[in-house]
Structure 1
Amino acid sequence: MHTKKRPASSLLSGGLVCWPSLSLRQPPRVLIVEALPPWWSETCAVLCEALDNVLSLACSLDGPCRIPLLSLYAISRQQECLLPFVQVRGNLARLRSCVEELRSIPGDGCIRGPARGGELLRQAVLDSLQQFKQYTRHTSTGSQASNNTSVEVTVVTSQPGRGIIHQLEAGLRDADLVSLRRLLLVQITNAADMGSDTPSPQDPCTDSEECLMLGTEVELQQVDNSVVAMETVFKAWLHEQGGDREHLHLLLPSNSENSSPVCVKCDMQERLLSPALFSLTPSVGVKTESIQDFLPSTKTSANHSTPPQRLKAIKALRADGVCESVLYGLPLVIRPTTCWQLDWDEIETNHNLFHALCHTLRSRDLFLLVRLEPAQSSAAGASGVYSYYVLQPSPSLSLLLKPVVSRELLLPCSLPVSNQDPPPDAIHTVQSCLGQLDEDVVFNPLTLSSQLHQHLKRRGLLSQPQYPYRLQQTAHREAQPQEGPKNSRQSRQSQHQGRQMGTGKVRATVAPLPSSSLGPPPCKVSRPALTFLNSRTPAPTLLLCSPVGPQEEGNNDNNNDELMMIL
């Protein structure tokens, strides 16, 4: 493939990189399965089960769609498109029927030549690219497919991978591969004795430089013939596939006085699928955000008939062999019970057993792997799904309970382990940065302040409603006698003047002073200040008095009432 046929940069658009698994950044997927005898009889059950499991996860996940589109091809006696491009979410029944159709392909028959198989693979790749172009051309403007301009193709085979790569490179050299984002060749290694994985003398490509023309586009991955290994391949589709921008910047203190902080640019990767994303199976992992989340349902808690949860120890783990990345949720502290309904002898015996368990685990540097057992009332649990936890001993008389991920929720994570030391200049820079930080022997979270109290206070004051005073005002108006037409008109005029003078400020109408028969009341009257709900600087108070003349006193018995506005 010539470099001029490839875009200079990724054509996927998507503004700033946020959290992983944004649907607009996930490319459509094409899966091409080489179901040739005799290897297909050994790999069929494994591959179909793994594909069925991963598709059931992808269809059931809440949140952004991780596999927007999927197409499936099978290469047996001929090339066959078992599944045109369809949306994965909401199509579990159709996807499973396609997997069953793939499973029904016979695994016995004559062995085709490698050249014929390579030709069929080339045709399947080109047909999938043409199908993707037609799909994006006829799809609506706002669909997920129109936001993805390139597709990723995964080829699963049991033949020697390097020979298949050479055949694909030779067959796709002059093809238009602008819409091909990535081509991954997955070789199932132990399906049969294939001999050494080296190209045969009859391979059409013998020059090493020409054979590596597609080296940056075609990737080879060798896996075992097991369900777990194939699930790892397909679960890689659930990872964030962006890469046009780094995810976060880690700032270290500057290693000199006048320089800016040292910035280490990083990417993020999910290690597991959160159980909260599966709304249909809440028991896949009991939440530990609070004690009530972990305890069983409290529908019958009034008569205390609900039995306590049961954790069954199934394995002892070496503490240094447990990776923190497979633990999720909030930890809960487990301590010996002090239930008053138990006898003193039983409480003491239980306390001694708990103490002995903590001491033994700490002295042997062990963790305890436990499984949440179903309730005694049900034979196998309501949903048949188990959740697992790890118990960690602490120096105090307690254990720490942490949820641990299971195989279904674990995402692939193959991080390289470097056996070489970093360059000396990089070590010197980092050591100089870290040397400026304070070092604590024991971490004390009480020294950390997140300013949460101040934020909650500000938010509470800003969102404080004003309706309590308005309710008082409405109650006072209901207690007042009905005004005549003339007096109502004057009141509305006074209120209109008050609104014009105090636009945008807090206003309130107070009760009028008692009427007096000796004449109009004085304009300056001492009244207690109103206390508002907002704790702000009190605004200046202005008392507006409407003088009442003798000619107006006979119109109404309460004509000497004036309207006082507080601005």
Structure 2
Amino acid sequence: MENRKRQAGPSNSGSLVYRSSLFPRQPARVLIVEALPPWWSQTCTVLCDALDNFLSLACSLDGPSRIPLLSLYAVSRQQECLLPFVQVRGNLARLRSCAEELRSIPVEGCIRGAARGGELLRQTVLDSLQQFKQYIRHTSNGPQASNMFLEVTVVTSQPGQHILRLLETGLKDADLVSLKRLLVVQIHCETDWDQENLSPKVNHPEADDYLMLGAEIDLQQVENSVLAVEAVLKAWLQEQGGDREHLQLLLPSPPDSPIPVCVKCDMQECLISPALIPLNPGLGEKTESTQDFWPNTKGTANQSQVPQRLRAIKALRADGVCESVLYGLPLVIRPTTCWQLDWDEMETNHNLFHALCHTLQSRDLFLLLQVELAQRSTAGGVCSHYILQPSSSLALLLKPVVSRELLLPCSQLVPAQEPTPDALELLQGCVSQLEEELLFNPLSLSSNLYQYLKCRGLLSQPRYPYRLQPAAPHRDQSQPPEGPKNAGKRASRQPQAQSRHLGANSRVRATVAPLPFSSSSTTASTPSQGPPPAKAPRPPLKLLSSR
């Protein structure tokens, strides 16, 4: 998608995908993995596979940086820093080598006590904070690095509440100014945890005695699967600002107040835009025209390309498809009118298309389509998926659908109770003031696009459609002595200098090139006693060639 060119252009400065002002307060990340037996034997493969998949995606994303710094620690027999703070983008080889080093930690060994493991985790958190301070102190990024903060994620298979209280008690007196959040992720394993084996016993303080460290402390429990661990890591790719609300919804004012009702909201990405993936792997992100949908066959003209083949793999209930997983511009699918088909084949195809539309609409179904295996790209084997929706007319709607790799975690909380009566009555009154339409007609909407384009075209630099004479070369400072010929040239340049001086002080500019002098006008410039010659006919204007 040539992201660098898009960022350079002023017309794309407001794009949500490429705008550099997005993700201004993304924190540096520290991942601490507790690799203690016997749980490490069950979580090693799952965690390392999820980390390897996540790093391959995070290192390849274009656009604004979502993870400015990353550090990785492992806690087994002792704490070990596998990766000091490095930038994520462009460091895929180094990050993957650290993931493989984490995978090589032995999965068998003696069972350590929980207290010993909690002490190692506390020391590791303190060491990561110290490393972060030293990095910020010696970095050359200036004020941007000084405003950065840190989030620490601890992955363990021990009881999450127990580890959380151990860390909270152990870090109570530490300097945690740069720490914004501490997240403990507990991966459930089949091995049961025996609370009686805690050695030594830990006396937990009362809830009122807890010191919240000035940072947010959370516990997240996930199952032992690659998909669940990937969701924890992909949350790092989402915007972590929170300094102000993202948008404000203005509703009509209630009868007893002239002030409109304002609902303040935040925005959250549901998926990673395929446009941020370089090399165009064929994920269907370009659906602006029919040419974008054709298979990319090198050395073959568009007219001779084979048609794209999509295979239906599932029938989906229409009410079970969420619109948030669809992206890109939709394409209208109609029965073909290709002139190379004979009439019988075209009529049969038209009947089949009509029957497909009727079947999907009557049963309220969508079709899930996949690019046929023969059409997949040979470099990596990336394929795209699409949703086919029926319509009331003889047409279908084709939309790209996101795959697992680009899907971001988006947990929507379902309210357990009804809204408050006051808020419900207020919002019902606001919505009732809006005009209702049974059938939406986009022709009733005007975006002021024509006027904007006209104003922009008038303010832009004009392009003259006529061929202008080349400008005179700049005269060198070392000029020859002025003779009769040079004096004549100097006299001929005086009107041009006056015209340039007039053009510099006036906003009026000529829109046509000056006419070249004809032979008759040249003779008329010499003194004579007769009447002035007749004007020469105006020569035709020379338009610029297409070259």
For residues 439 and 520 of structure 1, the distance between their equivalents in structure 2, rounded to whole angstroms, comes to 80
The residue identity in structure 2 corresponding to 1:439 is: E
- The CA deviation at 1:213 is 4.0
Match of 1:392 among 389, 392, 395: 389
Count of residues in correspondence between the two structures: 503
The residue identity in structure 1 corresponding to 2:346 is: I
- CA deviation map 1:200-230 (0-9, x unaligned): 9933214222247459632100000000000
Change (3 A) 1:147 1:335: farther
Does 2:449 correspond to 1:452? Answer: yes
The residue identity in structure 2 corresponding to 1:446 is: L
Aligned ranges 1:79-94 → 2 under 5 Å: 79-94=79-94
The residue identity in structure 2 corresponding to 1:231 is: E
Change (3 A) 1:112 1:507: closer
Specify the alignment match of 2:476 in structure 1: none
- CA deviation map 1:45-84 (0-9, x unaligned): 0000001100110100011111111111111111111111
For residues 448 and 412 of structure 1, the distance between their equivalents in structure 2, rounded to whole angstroms, comes to 34
Specify the alignment match of 2:506 in structure 1: 504
Is the Cα contact below 8 Å between 1:47 and 1:230 reproduced in 2?
Answer: yes
Aligned ranges 1:39-54 → 2 under 5 Å: 39-54=39-54
Partner secondary structure for residue 412 of structure 2: coil
Specify the alignment match of 2:399 in structure 1: 402
Specify the alignment match of 1:184 in structure 2: 183
Is the Cα contact below 8 Å between 2:386 and 2:401 reproduced in 1?
Answer: yes
- CA deviation map 1:315-355 (0-9, x unaligned): 11111111000000000011111212122222222112211
- CA deviation map 1:343-372 (0-9, x unaligned): 222222211221111111111111100101
> Which is higher, the Rg of structure 1 or of structure 2?
1
- The CA deviation at 1:108 is 1.1
Change (3 A) 1:466 1:310: closer
- The CA deviation at 1:394 is 0.5
- CA deviation map 1:182-210 (0-9, x unaligned): 00000012342236899999332142222
- The CA deviation at 1:302 is 4.8
- The CA deviation at 1:495 is 4.3
Partner secondary structure for residue 421 of structure 1: coil
Change (3 A) 1:250 1:316: same
Specify the alignment match of 2:154 in structure 1: 155
Does 2:62 correspond to 1:62? Answer: yes
Specify the alignment match of 1:254 in structure 2: 253
For residues 507 and 206 of structure 1, the distance between their equivalents in structure 2, rounded to whole angstroms, comes to 83
Aligned ranges 1:455-470 → 2 under 5 Å: 455-463=452-460, 465=462, 467-468=464-465
Is the Cα contact below 8 Å between 1:286 and 1:294 reproduced in 2?
Answer: no
- The CA deviation at 1:440 is 1.2
- CA deviation map 1:244-297 (0-9, x unaligned): 111122222222486233222111111101111111352133521110000123
- The CA deviation at 1:484 is 5.9
Aligned ranges 1:518-529 → 2 under 5 Å: 518=529
Specify the alignment match of 2:98 in structure 1: 98
Specify the alignment match of 1:564 in structure 2: none
For residues 197 and 338 of structure 1, the distance between their equivalents in structure 2, rounded to whole angstroms, comes to 76
The residue identity in structure 2 corresponding to 1:399 is: L
Partner secondary structure for residue 263 of structure 2: strand
For residues 363 and 260 of structure 1, the distance between their equivalents in structure 2, rounded to whole angstroms, comes to 47
Change (3 A) 1:24 1:471: same
For residues 204 and 403 of structure 2, the distance between their equivalents in structure 1, rounded to whole angstroms, comes to 45
Is the Cα contact below 8 Å between 1:32 and 1:155 reproduced in 2?
Answer: yes
Is the Cα contact below 8 Å between 1:27 and 1:148 reproduced in 2?
Answer: no
Is the Cα contact below 8 Å between 2:20 and 2:64 reproduced in 1?
Answer: no
- The CA deviation at 1:494 is 4.0
Specify the alignment match of 1:343 in structure 2: 342
For residues 199 and 439 of structure 1, the distance between their equivalents in structure 2, rounded to whole angstroms, comes to 65
The residue identity in structure 2 corresponding to 1:92 is: L
Aligned ranges 1:56-455 → 2 under 5 Å: 56-142=56-142, 146-194=145-193, 202-211=201-210, 213=212, 217-256=216-255, 259-297=258-296, 302=301, 305-375=304-374, 381-455=378-452
Partner secondary structure for residue 399 of structure 2: strand
For residues 265 and 520 of structure 1, the distance between their equivalents in structure 2, rounded to whole angstroms, comes to 83
Change (3 A) 1:218 1:199: farther
Is the Cα contact below 8 Å between 1:26 and 1:241 reproduced in 2?
Answer: yes
The residue identity in structure 2 corresponding to 1:431 is: Q
Structure 1: state its 5+ residue gaps.
1-15, 476-482, 534-567
The residue identity in structure 2 corresponding to 1:167 is: L
- The CA deviation at 1:461 is 3.4
Partner secondary structure for residue 471 of structure 1: coil
Partner secondary structure for residue 105 of structure 2: coil
Change (3 A) 1:461 1:121: same
- CA deviation map 1:473-496 (0-9, x unaligned): 989xxxxxxx96555544544444
Partner secondary structure for residue 284 of structure 1: coil
- CA deviation map 1:357-388 (0-9, x unaligned): 11111111111001011436x7x744311110
For residues 159 and 344 of structure 1, the distance between their equivalents in structure 2, rounded to whole angstroms, comes to 71
- CA deviation map 1:417-458 (0-9, x unaligned): 113222222223222322232211111111111222222233
Partner secondary structure for residue 282 of structure 1: coil
Change (3 A) 1:231 1:198: farther
For residues 266 and 119 of structure 2, the distance between their equivalents in structure 1, rounded to whole angstroms, comes to 39
The residue identity in structure 1 corresponding to 2:381 is: G
Is the Cα contact below 8 Å between 2:287 and 2:329 reproduced in 1?
Answer: yes
The residue identity in structure 1 corresponding to 2:39 is: W
For residues 73 and 509 of structure 2, the distance between their equivalents in structure 1, rounded to whole angstroms, comes to 72
